[in-house]
């Protein structure tokens, strides 16, 4: 049984690393890093509440990495920091008009890339993929909670 679990883990890591490499390659073709891509994705997904802390938490990236990315995006006129109305000590991250246009096109292209891949799968395959991914996540959370 242990060999079977180790084989499953090897296949899981192969999938995970290969998937990450494909997103990195896609982002590079857009002239950005994968971390920049996912920061833009996160700013877009959490437009009303996005701040540096949320980005760090969602992407599991160090504060310094996120700060460097946000500074570069600010210099390019893609994002700006605004006072958070609910907490003046925090700065909300928002797209500029130019940034909203850029992010919209970038994320539309990303979605087309992902939909092209998912579109070749049957509905049952997509549901199975989602279901088993959610099961794996839940089991990892359980294992982490029971480990000392």
**Separation CA 61–CA 56 (nearest Å):** 5
pTM (2 d.p.): 0.88
For residue 39, what pLDDT is reported?
Answer: 98
Q: Consecutive 10-residue runs of the chain (148 residues): their mean pLDDT?
A: 87 95 98 98 96 97 98 98 83 96 98 96 96 95 80
Predicted pLDDT of residue 35: 98
Domain extent, residue 28, equals 2-146
**DSSP reduced 3-state for 133:** helix
Give residue 125's pLDDT: 96
Task: Find all residues with CB under 8 Å of 73, minimum gap 6, and list them.
Answer: 36, 39, 40, 79, 99
CATH number where 45 lies:
1.10.10.10
CB atoms within 10 A of CB 95: 21
User: Into how many domains does the chain fold?
Assistant: 1
């Amino acid at each position: 049984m242990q060999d079977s679990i180790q084989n499953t883990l090897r296949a899981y890591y192969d999938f995970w690393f290969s998937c990450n490499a494909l997103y990195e390659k896609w982002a590079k073709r857009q002239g950005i890093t994968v971390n920049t891509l996912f920061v833009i994705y996160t700013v877009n997904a959490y437009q009303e509440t996005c701040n540096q802390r949320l980005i760090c938490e969602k992407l599991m990236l160090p504060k310094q990495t996120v700060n460097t990315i946000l500074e570069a995006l600010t210099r390019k006129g893609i994002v700006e920091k605004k006072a958070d109305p609910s907490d003046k000590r925090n700065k909300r991250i928002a797209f500029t008009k130019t940034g909203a246009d850029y992010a919209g096109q970038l994320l539309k292209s990303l979605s087309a890339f992902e939909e092209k891949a998912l579109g070749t799968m049957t509905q049952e395959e997509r549901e199975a993929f989602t279901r088993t991914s959610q099961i794996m996540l839940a089991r990892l959370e359980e294992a982490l909670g029971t480990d000392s």
